[in-house]
Copies of this chain bind each other. A is one copy, B any other.
Amino acid sequence: MSEHDSVIEELFQEEEGLTDKQKKIIIAAVESFSEKGYAATSTSEIAKKAGVAEGTIFRHYKTKKDLLMGIVSPMMAKLIAPFVIKDLYKVIDHKYERYEDFLRAMMENRIAFLKNNMPLLKILIQEIPFHPELKEQFKEHIACKVFERFVNLVEFYQKKGQIINIPSYSAVRMTFTSIFGFLITRYLILPEAEWNDEEEIELTIQFIMHGLSVKS
């Protein structure tokens, strides 16, 4: 993962057939969808912002919804990528002695990713409730694969006596909500406030760890 861990840029590099105008369309769409929401954004607006004729959009995407999917699907894929690496396990076993270590590594990585893709994340969060296909994708990939892996991990650390004995999925939920709670507050609710990111991340990790760890 480079520093510029941007889904859109990667999209542009990976898919070669993309014309210049097509790229502009995607950039404009992301911006508008993120600012006003999918339903409230008109294709003519996207076209104007992209400096492109309206018809051009529909040459590349059969429908407006296609455009949304073409933007959101890669996001979802990249978001969960690190969690579906097959040998995540082995790596983990040896590398991270403590849940805290794993958490910190994972968090830094995913937070960096999300920071670079805030508009996309915003679209994802906003639109999932209204598009059954997205909901399905989300459930299948995030709720199943990622969640399941986390559950296994938590159970692993529970056996090691590092995490308290509560239902593992509850522990995962609390981990997740704390992290996303931070991100959403930080970047979506109060982006204009002054934040000491490093400290907040550390505090969040500490909070999770205190909340979950066995008292010594």
Contacts and interface: CB of A to CB of B under 8 A. Distances in A.
Interface in A123-180: 126, 129-130, 143, 164, 166-167, 170, 173-174, 176-178, 180
Q: How large is the interface on A (under 10, 10 to 19, 20 to 34, 35 or more residues)?
A: 35 or more
Nearest to A170: B203
A215 B215 contact: yes
Given A39-B40, A130-B37, A210-B210, A181 B176 contact: yes
A185 B177 contact: yes
Max chain B C-beta neighbours (<10 A), residue from A130, A143, A177, A213? A177
- Where chain A touches its partner, the secondary structure class is helix
A36 B43 CA distance: 19
Contact of A185 (B129, B173, B185, B200): B173
A204 interface: yes
Interface of A: 36-37, 39-40, 122, 126, 129-130, 143, 164, 166-167, 170, 173-174, 176-178, 180-182, 184-185, 188-190, 200, 203-204, 206-208, 210-213, 215
Given A126-B126, A143-B189, A177-B180, 18 more contacts: A37-B129, A39-B40, A40-B130, A122-B129, A126-B129, A143-B190, A170-B200, A170-B203, A174-B178, A177-B177, A177-B182, A178-B178, A181-B181, A206-B211, A210-B213, A210-B215, A211-B211, A215-B215
The 3 closest A-B pairs by CB, nearest first: A177-B181, A211-B211, A39-B39
21 contacts: A37-B39, A40-B130, A126-B129, A164-B210, A167-B203, A170-B200, A170-B203, A173-B182, A174-B204, A174-B207, A177-B177, A177-B178, A177-B182, A177-B185, A178-B178, A178-B181, A181-B181, A206-B211, A208-B211, A210-B212, A210-B213
